Amino acid sequence: MRVGIVCPYSLDRPGGVQLHVMDLAEALQSRGHEVSVLAPAAPGTEVPAYVTTAGRSIPVRYNGSIARIKFGFVAAMRVRAWLRDGHFDVVHLHEPGTMSLSVIAMWARLGPTVATFHTSNEHSRIMRNAKPFIKPGYEELDARIAVSPSADRTIKQHLRVAATHIIPNGVDTTAFVDAEPVGEWRGTKHAPTIGILGRMDEPRKGLDEFLGAIPYVRRRHPRARFLVAGRFSDRVAAKAARAGAEVVGELDEGMKARFMSSVDVYCAPNLGGESFGIVLVEAMASGAAVVASGLTAFRDVATDSDGEMCVALHTVGDSVELAARVNALIDDPRARRDLAARGQRRAGTFDWRQVAPRIEETYRDAIRLDAEFHPHPTKDTHA
């Protein structure tokens, strides 16, 4: 197939949707498909040859974060030209829940169109206000994918439409399974390491809860080391250092996997706004024992097909309970190893080798439905 993929968020800033889009494009290419990605990007941003950039984005506060999107007349012209010149068998839009390239492409559809919804948010003002403008386009989509049951509930609540497929985000788990630990981040019996990684400038990632657990863990394990990695401001780095954590800083994808494989316990104390929990899959794939907040999206990821939990969960926002879960795993190395092994097996179900074929089949469904309900005139018809 010739597949067009639209990413609403700018590629010059890291983010889960951007990573998913690029990984999906490469997974589809490895399976023999021809792929073109359309996305915003600042001038000078290095992108693969299969990416068409739609120009500079603007920042918009969305779902507890800052989304960098592009919209307007110029954007619409670029989307229409990309659709017209692409001659795609199917177009795959991501996150058409806010005014973006994805919404423009939904309105300008020329053939089979699929959308993936990533957001989980009970109180999305933007999605609610945009509903009159974008819902008619949703109803014309040939397939709607939600990355989790919680993402499906979000579009049902705000847009009164349901996903036709629930397909999780994919992860290249091999990169995490094979990651070599780094000596300086590895713990010892008396000085275990506990790590967190992400955009810590965003309060919803739970850095304050992570730092709040430090004194409770150190009462039991005085030499425990708390490592903070990711992309964040100097102010956040200084706050982490004052709380007694070691600031690792920003890591590339390869080092991120090595960081997760090195720590004794990986923590994901997120407060909300997560529709899937890709960070849990990555950490589990790396072989880390994971402690995470009990968000619905995290529970979905952490529960295997037998109903067994593969992550130690704590109450959202509760640093004391987070510390108790960490202490229990440090106290019992065997339980920690067992939890890590269950997590690694569970992570394998989210590998692109499992996910990509499901997305391919959704494309084929969309093409069949489009031919049935949206017949397009052939060249001979125009002659």
Could you give the C-alpha distances from 218 to 199, 213, 239, 277, in angstroms and in order? 25, 9, 18, 28
Which of 2-11, 146-155, 297-306 comes out lowest in average pLDDT? 146-155
Length of the chain: 383
**pLDDT tens-digit readout, 300-315:** 899 998 999 999 999 9
**pLDDT tens-digit readout, 55-65:** 888 877 765 56
**H-type helices in the chain, by residue range?**
16-30, 73-86, 101-107, 125-140, 149-159, 173-177, 207-220, 234-242, 253-262, 278-285, 296-302, 319-331, 333-347, 352-373, 379-382
Determine the pLDDT at residue 60: 76
Place of tokens 């806010």: 98
Whole-number mean pLDDT of the chain? Answer: 91
Q: In what order do the strands lie in the sheet with 312-314?
A: 246-249, 225-230, 193-198, 265-268, 289-293, 312-314
Q: What percent of the chain is predicted at pLDDT more than 90? A: 75
pLDDT at residue 383 tops 50: no
Give the pair of three-digit tokens for residue 117.
């919804």
Determine the pLDDT at residue 323: 98
Determine the pLDDT at residue 34: 98
In sequence order, the β-bridge partners of residue 143 are: 114
Nearest 5 degrees, angle CA 194-CA 233-CA 327? 15
| Closest CA relative to residue 212, chosen from 191, 248, 247, 239 | 239
Q: Is 82 helix (H, G, I), strand (E, B) or coil?
A: helix
In sequence order, the β-bridge partners of residue 247 are: 228
CB count in 10 Å sphere of residue 74: 11
Q: Rounded distance, CA 279 to CA 288, Å?
A: 12
| Closest CA relative to residue 30, chosen from 353, 363, 362, 372 | 353
Please name the residues in contact with 26: beta carbons below 8 A apart, sequence gap of 6 or more: none
